[in-house]
């Protein structure tokens, strides 16, 4: 192993290869090896910057300088950001994000103008949501929530309630955290509960002595509820799964109609609720548990929960950042309900509290809220943020680029006119049905994200060529992209539960086909109704 001594830190040795492999542009004090003098200097520099940056910004903004207001505020914010970049109280990239957020919130320019060089505010929504989710997973906040629900006594005494509770936990977490990460996090707990049930069945001699604990019907129901519940829950919010943000961005690009956070939830909630009821009913009918009443699961969950210990400072900070972000996401929708979308206050609030800007400001709190002030350690380090799913962000950006090129080159119109005449698609219902079927078929063989990126740009020109508003068909395709249930390759969460060895491929296909059909029917029949109730006549 190659090692070296750090100058100024006698006796301290470090693995050079590992250091380079794990290097990040910005590292917190705890991620570096510093001499006492270096550490004192770094603490002082970062502490000064943490307070000096906002102070300089505020003072400069209040100075009676003969500049237009827009230029004055921009100069003040830029000075503050420069101080953040020099002193590094937060990671350098986060300092830039805070500055962009301040520019929009203070009304220097609209959000779309501020992030125009990046292409779309949705890129910022991705980044902020992914960083928040990373903190929830790193500090165990998501797992603590799951253990709390499972520890309820009425849950752990029935196999049916355990399966339903697992699905509900997965769906709720997946509304804000990656579907794949949620399933991967909960899988060990599900396997532990399944082992308790298997032992109980063996003790009561309800199975043959040589039975295979990985082939229990209750195990199939539990694992499929885990995988499918994540897909259903991911639809509940715009940030629940990448296809939602990709489809929403493409719809806004094509129609100019933006779907607010609260509006999305109001439209998606009935579909998610009905699909969840269908999931529970069909899975428990097709895979009827070998035993109804169980003992020992509650004790197992309590033991797991006790290992989590008390609520940590990092968990509280993560909860604060998450709560602030979601509250501000929903706030413009509440203003719209109270004052109407035509009111001046709604236009001001919705313009300044842009979702992408709020996402990165909420995520920035994780780099400001300390877990150990003395050591200048904060809730999240940049090395944690650097591990988020940058591939999905790049995929979104390329999807927007191709969508724009389809329109600017005229290829979208050619595809739309050809498809409309070939398939005879002349009504909103027909185009919506075609969109849903196409999205589900593609999502069965490739990722949901790719399905949305491929299908939505196709559906929009088809609808336009038929002189139909593309909003509903494109949104239906976006929803349907998450309804690939049939095969292990359909979604990463399907692959995870299949890899556990508990779910035979035949049972996954049988259950998945049922949910593909149910999902298609719910989207085609219910989504147009919810769009009409929540948004009225978008684009009309």
Q: What is the 3-state secondary structure (H, E, C) of 182-238?
A: HHHHHHHHHHHHHHHHHHHHHHCCCCCCCCCHHHCHHHHHHHHHHHHHHHHHHCCCC
Query: What is the tens place of the pLDDT at every residue in 295-338?
Result: 767 777 788 788 888 889 999 999 999 889 989 988 888 888 88
Residue of higher predicted confidence among 171 and 540: 171
Query: What is the tens place of the pLDDT at every residue in 21-46?
Result: 444 556 677 767 777 887 888 888 88
So what's the pLDDT on residue 473? 94
Residue of higher predicted confidence among 166 and 121: 166
Angle among Cα 124, 382, 244 to the nearest 5 degrees reads 30
Does the global pTM surpass 0.95?
no
So what's the pLDDT on residue 413? 67
Residue of higher predicted confidence among 19 and 164: 164
So what's the pLDDT on residue 318? 92
What is the rounded radius of gyration, in angstroms, for the C-alpha atoms of the chain? 26
φ, ψ at 371 (rounded to 5°): -100, -25
In this structure, the strands spanning 370-372 and 3-5 are: unpaired
If pLDDT is split at 50, 70 and 90, which confidence band does 207 have?
Answer: low
CA 470 – CA 434 distance, rounded (Å): 13
Q: Is 106 helix (H, G, I), strand (E, B) or coil?
A: coil
Does 406 have pLDDT greater than 80? no
How many H helices and E strands in the chain?
A: 24, 4
User: Which residue in 237, 218, 221 sits closest to 172, CA to CA?
Assistant: 237
Lowest mean pLDDT among 237-241, 409-413, 522-526: 409-413
Residue of higher predicted confidence among 538 and 530: 530
Q: How far is CA 161 from the centre of its chain?
A: 27
User: Which residue in 272, 255, 256 sits closest to 264, CA to CA?
Assistant: 272
Does 373 have pLDDT greater than 60? yes
If pLDDT is split at 50, 70 and 90, which confidence band does 14 have?
Answer: very low
Q: What is the 3-state secondary structure (H, E, C) of 470-494?
A: CHHHHHHHHHHCCCCCCCCCCCHHH
Average pLDDT over residues 280-295: 84
Helices 313-339 & 344-352 angle (0-180, nearest 10): 150
| 308 CB neighbour count, 10 Å cutoff | 14
Distances (CA, A) of 473 to 469, 524, 536: 8, 9, 15
Query: What is the tens place of the pLDDT at every residue in 79-110?
Result: 999 999 888 888 888 888 898 889 989 988 88
**Given phi > 0 = left and psi -120 to 50 = alpha, else beta, which region is 448?**
alpha
Lowest mean pLDDT among 151-160, 243-252, 410-419, 527-536: 410-419
Does 370 have pLDDT greater than 90? yes
| 42 CB neighbour count, 10 Å cutoff | 17
Domain boundaries, the chain: 1-33, 140-309, 390-535
Lowest mean pLDDT among 3-7, 23-27, 172-176, 457-461: 3-7
Q: What is the largest CA-CA distance in the chain?
A: 88
b/e sequence 514-538, b meaning 16+ C-beta within 10 Å: bbbebbbebbbebbbebbeebbeeb
Q: What is the mean pLDDT of the chain?
A: 82
Average pLDDT over residues 169-176: 90
User: Which residue in 225, 120, 137, 140 sits closest to 176, CA to CA?
Assistant: 137
CA 475 – CA 281 distance, rounded (Å): 27
Taken in order 248, 250, 251, 256, the sign of the CA dihedral is: positive
b/e sequence 176-199, b meaning 16+ C-beta within 10 Å: bbbbbbbbebbbebbbebbebbbe
| 33 CB neighbour count, 10 Å cutoff | 13
Average pLDDT over residues 374-395: 81
Asked if residue 312 lies in contact with residue 377, where contact means CB atoms within 8 angstroms, the answer is no
Contacts of 537 (CB under 8 A, 6+ apart): none
DSSP state of 5: E
């Amino acid at each position: 192993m190659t090692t070296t001594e750090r100058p100024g830190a006698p006796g301290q040795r470090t693995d050079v290869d590992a250091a380079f492999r794990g290097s990040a542009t910005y590292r917190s004090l705890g991620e570096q090896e510093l001499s006492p003098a270096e550490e004192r200097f770094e603490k002082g520099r970062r502490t000064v910057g943490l307070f000096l940056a906002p102070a300089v910004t505020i003072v400069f903004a209040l100075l009676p300088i003969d500049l237009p207001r827009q230029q004055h505020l921009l100069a003040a914010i830029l000075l503050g950001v420069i101080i953040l970049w020099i002193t590094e109280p937060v990671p350098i990239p986060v300092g830039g994000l805070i500055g962009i957020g301040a520019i929009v919130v203070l009304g220097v320019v609209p959000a779309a103008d501020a992030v125009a060089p990046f292409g779309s505010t949705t890129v910022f929504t991705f980044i902020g949501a992914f960083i928040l989710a990373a903190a929830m997973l790193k500090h165990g906040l998501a797992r603590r929530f799951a253990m709390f629900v499972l520890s309820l006594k009425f849950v752990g005494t029935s196999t049916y309630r355990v399966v339903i509770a697992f699905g509900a936990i997965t769906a709720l977490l997946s509304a804000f955290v990656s579907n794949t990460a949620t399933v991967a996090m909960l899988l060990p707990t599900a396997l532990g509960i399944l082992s308790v049930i298997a032992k109980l069945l063996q003790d009561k001699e309800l199975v043959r002595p040589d039975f295979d604990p990985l082939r229990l019907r209750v195990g199939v129901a539990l694992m499929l509820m885990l995988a499918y519940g994540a897909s259903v829950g991911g639809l509940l919010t715009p940030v629940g799964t990448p296809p939602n943000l990709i489809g929403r961005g493409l719809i806004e690009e094509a129609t100019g109609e933006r779907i607010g956070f609260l509006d999305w939830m109001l439209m998606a909630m009935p579909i998610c609720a009905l699909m969840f009821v269908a999931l529970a009913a069909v899975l428990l009918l097709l895979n009827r548990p070998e035993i109804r009443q169980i003992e020992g699961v509650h004790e197992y969950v309590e033991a797991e929960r006790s290992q989590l210990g008390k609520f940590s400072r990092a968990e509280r900070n993560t909860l604060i950042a998450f709560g602030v972000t979601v509250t501000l996401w929903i706030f413009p929708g509440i203003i719209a309900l109270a004052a109407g979308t035509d009111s001046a206050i709604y236009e001001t609030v919705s313009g300044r509290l842009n979702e992408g800007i709020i996402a990165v400001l909420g995520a920035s709190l994780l780099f400001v809220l300390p877990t150990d002030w003395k050591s200048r350690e904060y809730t999240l380090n940049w090395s944690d943020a650097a591990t988020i799913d940058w591939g999905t962000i790049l995929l979104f950006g390329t999807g927007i680029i191709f969508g724009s090129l389809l329109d600017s080159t005229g290829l979208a119109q050619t595809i739309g006119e050809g498809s409309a005449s070939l398939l005879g698609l002349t009504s909103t219902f027909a185009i919506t049905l075609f969109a849903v079927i196409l999205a589900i078929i593609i999502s069965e063989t490739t990722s949901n994200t790719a399905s949305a990126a491929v299908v939505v740009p196709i559906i929009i020109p088809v609808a336009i060529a038929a002189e139909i508003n593309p909003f509903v068909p494109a949104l239906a395709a976006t929803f349907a992209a998450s309804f690939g249930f049939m095969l292990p390759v359909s979604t990463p969460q399907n692959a995870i539960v299949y890899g556990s060895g508990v779910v035979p491929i035949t049972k996954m296909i049988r259950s998945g086909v049922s949910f593909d059909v149910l999902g298609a029917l719910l989207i085609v029949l219910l989504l147009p109704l919810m769009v009409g109730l929540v948004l009225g006549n978008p684009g009309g």
